[in-house]
Amino acid sequence: MLSIEPLAAFNDNYIWLLADAEQQRCAVIDPGDASPVLAWLDAHPGWRLEQIFITHHHADHVAGCRALQAASAARIHGPAGERLPVCDQWLHDGDQLTLLDRPVQVLHVPGHTLGHIALYCPRQDNQPPLLFCGDTLFAAGCGRLFEGSPAQMLASLKRLASLDDDCLVYCTHEYTLSNLRFALAVEPSNPHLQVWQERVTAQRQAGLCSLPSRIDEEKAGNPFLRCLQPEIRQQLEQRAGRTALDEVELFATLRAWKDVF
């Protein structure tokens, strides 16, 4: 059984560390900085870093890889469609491998970057499914469209939203509160958002990470999965200055609004 903990990096990044206490081994996802991982290893003598997974090529997700590789025997798994500083195994959509002892499936989810991947661990025994999705789906939000089109990102988010309701969503940034502020501006009458905001406000005041979220929670509150909701559509068509927008146009309008919110 794996335990999962967030290692804080930079201003608001999390490097997810998965630990297998029985065998004293661990894996990390998106180590943009080696130092928090090396500090964790220093505090856990005898443990081995065995695997590093990369979701996409941005520096705040990959810049720690070389130092961690030099300090351990970790194998680096990264997206085949991206240029990375170092990689031992290039991952393609549909690939199946193991993350320590959990089977994991590779999902290609372009939008934030073109080669972006997410890692999905199906349910195992009584452990819920897990999703490590980098900068695609955020709690109550989504990543910026640096390389992909709105249509690509919308398709990627829909693919993630089709996973199990109780799937735990581990994204890479602590953006939840600001995303919820935006979500409430977009859909003020959504009762889930108020509850979610109260919970996350309390977590942040206690210095806690607001993640993971869950797929059912995202479907109930994340505006980027809810463009077709009447209240959201009305707001977006008002912003766009025309009606009868299709879903991709609604999504593009919403993303552009968030960019300037």
Annotated binding-site residue numbers: 56, 58, 60-61, 112, 135, 173
Measure CA 116 to chain center. Answer: 11
Contact 212, 140 (CB under 8 A): no
Among 25, 34, 40, 58, the residue binding Zn ion under the rule CB under 5 A is 58
In residues, how long is the chain? 261
- What is the nearest approach in angstroms of Zn ion to the Cβ of residue 59? 9
Contact 203, 209 (CB under 8 A): yes
- What is the nearest approach in angstroms of Zn ion to the Cβ of residue 60? 7
Query: From residue 34, how far is each of 26, 85, 212 by CA, in Å?
Result: 14, 14, 22
Q: Which residues carry a binding-site annotation for Zn(2+)? A: 56, 58, 60-61, 112, 135, 173
Question: Which residues within the stretch 119-138 sit at the binding site for Zn ion (CB under 5 A)?
Answer: 135
Please identify, among the stretches 35-43, 58-66, 173-181, 211-219, the one whose residues bind Zn ion according to the rule CB under 5 A. Answer: 58-66
Contact 193, 184 (CB under 8 A): yes
Q: Is 34 helix (H, G, I), strand (E, B) or coil?
A: coil
Angle among Cα 81, 212, 156 to the nearest 5 degrees reads: 35
Please identify, among the stretches 40-48, 51-59, 158-166, 244-252, the one whose residues bind Zn ion according to the rule CB under 5 A. Answer: 51-59
x/- map, 135-174, Zn ion, by CB under 5 A: x---------------------------------------
Number of residues that bind Zn ion (CB under 5 A): 2
Contact residues toward Zn ion (CB under 5 A) are 58, 135
